Amino acid sequence: MEPTGPAPTLVVDRPPGEVSAGPPHIEPVRPVGGGSPAPGGPVVRASARASGGFAIAEGDRWLLGSLLAGAGLVHLVMAPSHMAESAVEGVGFFAAGWLQLALAVSVVCRPARAVLQGAVVADMAFAAVWAASRTAGLPVGDHAGHAEAVTFVDATTVALELAAVAVAALLLARRRPGLPSGGPLALAAPLVVVALTTAVVASPGARDHAAGAHGDHPAGHAHGDEAAAGDDKGLSLLRNGHQHDTGVVAIDARTQAALDEQLDVTRRLAEEFPTIADAEAAGYRRAGPFAPGLGTHYIAAGISTTDTGLLDAEALRRPTLIYDGLDPGSPLSGFMYLVASDTEPEGFAGPNDHWHYHEAVCIVARADGGVDTPFGADLPGVTSAMCDEVGGAFIENTGYMVHVWTVPGYETEAGTFTEINPRVTCPDGTYYMVPIEDIAYRESACRSA
């Protein structure tokens, strides 16, 4: 029997004014339960979702949406870590994350040509910013000019972004990536993206990504312990004074409790003097130049020292402050305690606080209350007469001092009391210094400064 009624009509949506470059990808509607396409009915539509005159197959929508959402989720998860290092970076991560999630929802629910174009522009821009941050360093923020190292977290995120750009570009060119348009297989690629994103967020590198990669610096740029794993960028060349012992040994619970009580004082100080601006407002002034592994030391008038070698409550509250940089916003990275003693002091509880001293140091006072060290420290041949010529005070032996690295983001596997902290790098992420005899009155001892 011949079917009656009007002939079926095939509707294929196209953007207004668009001229077809070839036959559209069409999947006829089939009856529930399978079988051949219905021979009758007034309308048969393509299976790709169309909105605003633009059709995208289901599998393509989910693929592009998952790539955008994966990158966006990583940005949001990493944002608090970057915010702690630099407000500019933190805001940028939040903005990127929310924009990518919004684009992902739009692609899945209401695909349109403008949405795909936005995804291409946004993710290309984010990838370009990442490339700049890993080569010359970003031009703004607390870590401006500091090139970060490439880590698993950021490299995978950029890979997701570039994949999203490629898929969106293919769809804009009316070329499908070749995935199934529907059914379980259409979800296979998005599930792979979900698994990869989960691996990134759960990876050890994501737990302190900004500090591991910043350096800057605690902060994405990766410094320090990561740099030491391969090309150490000059880390092994750093030395600091005369030191007898190094390393960390296990201590009993009672000693650990006593040590924790002492170190808690430094953690409270980290909240009081988080930046150089805070230290200067409290009367602290710079003592010597910034140096990789050592930071910039800030001292206050009347700083406490002891002759007994014991750190009492007052001495613990009055350390030299160490900052990672020279700008007012540079973050606190650690502390230094000084004891006027000819023998290594007892100092902190336990055997792991390794004290050092310097010889032949010439201190020249500045008008702002700080001091410079034009001949560095421990430089052979420096004499009292040389120091007199520059109007300085010559110190044959500084007494014993120790660094304490308890500030979040600056803890290091080398130990709380290590003399060289690999997380404190030059602006270019290296540890290369000018020769000590050439430091003079420089504010930074970095070769790249």
DSSP, residue by residue, 120-135: HHHHHHHHHHHHHHTT
Q: Is 89 helix (H, G, I), strand (E, B) or coil?
A: helix
Q: Which tokens in the block code for residue 325?
A: 């940089």
- Judged by average pLDDT, the poorest of 77-86, 223-232, 242-251, 265-274 is 223-232
- Nearest 10 degrees: Cα torsion 70, 71, 76, 79: 150
Amino acid 178: pLDDT: 55
Distance, CA of 399 to CA of 418 (rounded, Å): 18
Q: pTM here?
A: 0.51
pLDDT in tens, 278-319: 999 999 999 999 999 999 999 987 554 555 556 778 888 999
Pairing of strands 9-11, 43-45: parallel
CA 406 to chain centre: 18
pLDDT in tens, 12-46: 444 444 444 444 444 444 444 445 554 544 443 44
Contact 304, 433 (CB under 8 A): no
Q: Is 361 helix (H, G, I), strand (E, B) or coil?
A: strand
Distance, CA of 219 to CA of 211 (rounded, Å): 3
pLDDT in tens, 172-228: 887 666 555 555 555 677 788 888 888 777 765 554 454 444 433 333 333 444 443
Q: Is 88 helix (H, G, I), strand (E, B) or coil?
A: helix
Amino acid 340: pLDDT: 81
Share of the chain above pLDDT 70, in %: 73
Contact 214, 98 (CB under 8 A): no
Contact 72, 96 (CB under 8 A): yes
Is the four-CA dihedral 91, 92, 95, 100 of positive or negative sign?
A: negative
Distance, CA of 134 to CA of 127 (rounded, Å): 11
Amino acid 176: pLDDT: 62
Name residue 154's amino acid: D
Q: Mean pLDDT across the chain, nearest whole number?
A: 79
Pairing of strands 356-357, 371-372: unpaired
Contact 375, 362 (CB under 8 A): yes
Pairing of strands 332-339, 320-323: antiparallel
Beta carbons within 10 angstroms of residue 342's beta carbon: 10
